[in-house]
Amino acid sequence: MTANRARAIAYAVVAILLILALRFTPRLPAPERKPAEILLQGSARAAVDVPVSVSPRDEHVDTLGAGETLQALLRRGGVSDSDAVAALRAARSLDMRRIPAGMPVTIAAVGADSTPTEIVLQLAVDRLLHIKRASSGWSSTEERLPWTTDTVVVNGSISSNLYEAMDSSAKDILSVSARRQLTWSLADVLEYRVDMSRDLQPGDEFRVMAERSVSSTGVTRIDRVLAATMRLSGNVIEAIRFKSGSVGGDFFDQDGRSLRASFLRAPLEFRRISSVFGLRKHPILGTVRRHEGTDYAANSGTPVRAVGDAVVVRAGWSGGYGNLIELRHPNGYVTRYGHLRGFANGIRPGARVTIGQTIAYVGTTGLSTGPHLHFEVIVGGAQRDPRIALNLKGGQPIPKSERESFAALRDRLMASLDTARTGALTLAVN
């Protein structure tokens, strides 16, 4: 009896312990259902939980080679000749005669092994032509990329030339092409007062304020110069963009006189001088003789422009000068242009030309060792140093009715130039 009772008590204790173990043991998590199991619950739930796979877009980027046809480039990118003909026919705004070498072209397809469905031509920095294929055929649309515009100031000091000074001063805010644009623009603004190839000396300084545009792809360009100062050997020239109702020219100096004068300071737009006025050893005759003028070294074919309004006195061969043009100007000055490759259309004795007009092209005719322009200024029958003879300060002044508005704009722009460092500038310009 005692043994049976002991066994009963032991069984009871084991049962109690088993019940407690089952009561306090945590439940195992439910097994994760696979996507296939979820799909069984209905298409609406499946659309949410199961991602839809998309074929990747494959792009081939290329550039048009010199002398290459666009169809040949498309063929290289996997576009069949028939598709290329149809696509280019759909691009009605595309002028096949004006497609530049180096133009970027993107050919896109859905999947690496698929037939191309889109062609993108970058016609300009901010202009794309999209040619797309659909079930109905090829069609084209143009896209203009957005630009953002701000104002920048560049301060520079001359050590060798204007190009070097601009590159070293603006490298952190402007691209190489934008720096070149600004260099040319500054030279154009001051071309009636400064010959950038001859007048600059080490230590001369410039400050220029201009509008800068940046494309969505990061390309920078220079739009308008707003103001500039140039310090030449201690003398300061200021240039302020101002629209006058009666005086011609876009820029005026600090006294309100137009920077547009009777003469340009140089007969070439792209100037690189090889010798200056004075004594030198003649490169062919081998003797020291007076060089009555200035030589501008330039590539053959560079346009030569009249430095002022004039009448053509001579246009033809003249011994050591080679092909020569002589112009007589209203104030009695005569200018000569020698070693020319040829003359522009309509240039003959008696013809009238205007300031800046192309009259001839740089060459190496006559006594010349290489392509360059020989330029002279004759005053009262005697050769004069062009650097002195063409250094005219006179420009038409703005009228009294506009002086107050000009002075206000001048003071505001010059104050900003005087205090601003190289970089972007917050400035409201009218």
Contact 116, 109 (CB under 8 A): yes
Domain of 128, CATH number, reads: 3.10.450.350
Q: Say if residue 167 is in the same domain as residue 153.
A: yes
Q: What's the pLDDT score for residue 12?
A: 63
Q: What's the pLDDT score for residue 219?
A: 86
Stated pTM of the model: 0.71
From the number of C-beta atoms within 10 Å of its C-beta (0-12, 13-18, 19+), residue 66 rates as: exposed
385 found inside a domain? yes
Q: Say if residue 379 is in the same domain as residue 280.
A: yes
What confidence tier does 397 reach under pLDDT thresholds 50, 70, 90? very high
* Range among 92-101, 129-138, 311-320 with highest mean pLDDT value: 311-320
Domain of 378, CATH number, reads: 2.70.70.10
354 found inside a domain? yes
What confidence tier does 255 reach under pLDDT thresholds 50, 70, 90? very high
What is the tens place of the pLDDT at every residue in 23-38?
555 554 444 444 333 3
Q: Say if residue 202 is in the same domain as residue 237.
A: yes
Q: Say if residue 243 is in the same domain as residue 295.
A: no
Q: What's the pLDDT score for residue 263?
A: 93
Residues of the chain with pLDDT > 90: what percent? 56
Domain boundary among 211, 228, 261: 261
**Average of per-residue pLDDT across 380-395:** 83
How many domains does the chain divide into?
3
Integer Cα distance of 390 and 261 in angstroms: 10
Q: What's the pLDDT score for residue 114?
A: 76
Integer Cα distance of 320 and 206 in angstroms: 40
429 found inside a domain? no
339 found inside a domain? yes
232 found inside a domain? yes
**Average of per-residue pLDDT across 383-390:** 86
Q: Say if residue 240 is in the same domain as residue 196.
A: yes
18 found inside a domain? no
Lowest mean pLDDT among 36-40, 76-80, 92-96, 246-250: 36-40
- Residue by residue, what is the 3-state secondary structure of the chain? CHHHHHHHHHHHHHHHHHHHHHHHCCCCCCCCCCHHHHHCCCHHHHHHHCCCCCCCEEEEEEECCCCCCHHHHHHHCCCCHHHHHHHHHHCCCCCHHHCCCCCEEEEEEECCCCCCCEEEEEEECCEEEEEEEECCEEEEEEEECCEEEEEEEEEEECCCCHHHHHHHHHCCCCCHHHHHHHHHHHHHHCCCCCCCCCCCCCCCEEEEEEEEEEECCCCEEEEEEEEEEEEECCEEEEEEECCCCCCCCCEECCCCEECCCCCCCCCCCCCCEEECCEEEECCCCCCEEEECCEEEECCCCCEEECCCCEEEEEEEECHHHCEEEEEECCCCCEEEEEEEEEECCCCCCCCEECCCCEEEEEECCCCCCCCEEEEEEEECCEEECHHHHCCCCCCCECCHHHHHHHHHHHHHHHHHHHHCCCEEECCCCC
Q: What is the rounded average pLDDT for all residues in the chain?
A: 83
Integer Cα distance of 359 and 306 in angstroms: 6
Residue 412 clears pLDDT 90, i.e. is over it? yes
- Give me the phi and psi of 113, to 5 degrees please: -100, 10
Q: Say if residue 230 is in the same domain as residue 252.
A: yes
What is the tens place of the pLDDT at every residue in 319-352?
999 999 999 999 899 999 999 999 999 999 999 9
Q: What's the pLDDT score for residue 269?
A: 85
46 found inside a domain? no
Q: What's the pLDDT score for residue 337?
A: 97
Q: Say if residue 74 is in the same domain as residue 174.
A: no
Residue 52 clears pLDDT 50, i.e. is over it? no
Bridge partners for 275 per DSSP: 295
**Average of per-residue pLDDT across 96-121:** 86
Q: Say if residue 131 is in the same domain as residue 153.
A: no
Please give the residue that has the higher pLDDT: either 309 or 425.
309
Domain boundary among 234, 261, 288: 261
189 found inside a domain? yes
Q: What's the pLDDT score for residue 422?
A: 80
Q: Say if residue 341 is in the same domain as residue 301.
A: yes
Q: Say if residue 251 is in the same domain as residue 280.
A: no
Contact 193, 259 (CB under 8 A): yes
Q: Say if residue 240 is in the same domain as residue 285.
A: no
What confidence tier does 20 reach under pLDDT thresholds 50, 70, 90? low
Q: What's the pLDDT score for residue 404?
A: 96
Q: Which residues 6+ apart lie within 8 Å of 373 measured at CB?
A: 267, 268, 295, 296, 298, 302, 304, 337, 338, 339, 340, 362
Domain boundary among 128, 144, 160: 144
Q: How many CB atoms lie within 10 A of CB 233?
A: 9
Two tokens at 383?
């050769």
What confidence tier does 44 reach under pLDDT thresholds 50, 70, 90? very low
**Unique residue bearing structure tokens 């081998």:** 286
Range of the domain at 127: 57-144
By residue count, the chain amounts to 430
Please give the residue that has the higher pLDDT: either 421 or 337.
337
Q: How many CB atoms lie within 10 A of CB 312?
A: 20
Q: Say if residue 246 is in the same domain as residue 299.
A: no
